[in-house]
Amino acid sequence: MLNDQESRSPVDAVLYLHGFNSGSESPKAKLMRAACGRIIHQGEPLACVTPQLPQRPQAAYETAQAALESLGANTLVVGSSMGGFLASCLAERFDLAAVLLNPAVRPTHLIDELLGTEFVNDYTGKRFTVDASHGEELARLMPPKLDPRRYLLMLGTADETLDCRDAFKAYAGCRTLIEPGGDHGFSRIEKHLPAILAQGGHCLNAY
């Protein structure tokens, strides 16, 4: 049974999951690794893994799960946009605390809007085209329910990609931080790193 976040021990690691067509070397991923590096936990810098996720949803989930298994059960999972969706999938399945940055709550609808669109990933150089199977895989991954006790939800009110009200409703009852004027990429994340790490039971001094 899920314990309240306050009763959990400080996490041993952080798993950061990037968004759609982003990468493990994105600015947010680098900031997360740097922040974790400033926290000493059990005599070592707090472990932080930011895997490069494949574009196929099922493969992305499997990559994220493998990274989680390498870190252990006492891990804080942080996800941005589509990575927020995957973070929710992992959090519900493995009973984890999580932080969601402008999460995608209806990802199959997003895929419907992108069908046939070709993308190039700036971090890997790989090209891919969105097709119907992307939506089918996302539908199979959808958690049957969301427990608000496990989440810190961070929303930007000026998200140019997603309607923040959808996430606000989907995760009703969870801890919520609203960034007035915040964009989809949550570009002002640096000032919120202490709140993110606090969700995992750690204290990070502000930059």
**Between residues 183 and 33, which one has the greater pLDDT?**
33
Lowest mean pLDDT among 32-36, 57-61, 180-184: 180-184
Measured CA to CA, the distance from residue 59 to residue 22 in angstroms comes to 15
Q: Return the pLDDT at 181.
A: 83
pLDDT (tens digit per residue) in 84-109: 999 999 999 999 999 999 999 989 98
Q: How far is CA 12 from CA 50, 54, 104, in A?
A: 15, 25, 26
Mean pLDDT of all residues in 155-159: 87
**What is the β-pairing status of strands 75-80 and 47-49?**
unpaired
Share of the chain above pLDDT 90, in %: 79
Asked if pLDDT for residue 2 goes beyond 80, the answer is no
Asked if pLDDT for residue 3 goes beyond 70, the answer is no
Cβ atoms of 184 and 21 within 8 Å: the answer is no
Q: What is the pTM of this model?
A: 0.93
Share of the chain above pLDDT 70, in %: 95
Cβ atoms of 102 and 156 within 8 Å: the answer is yes
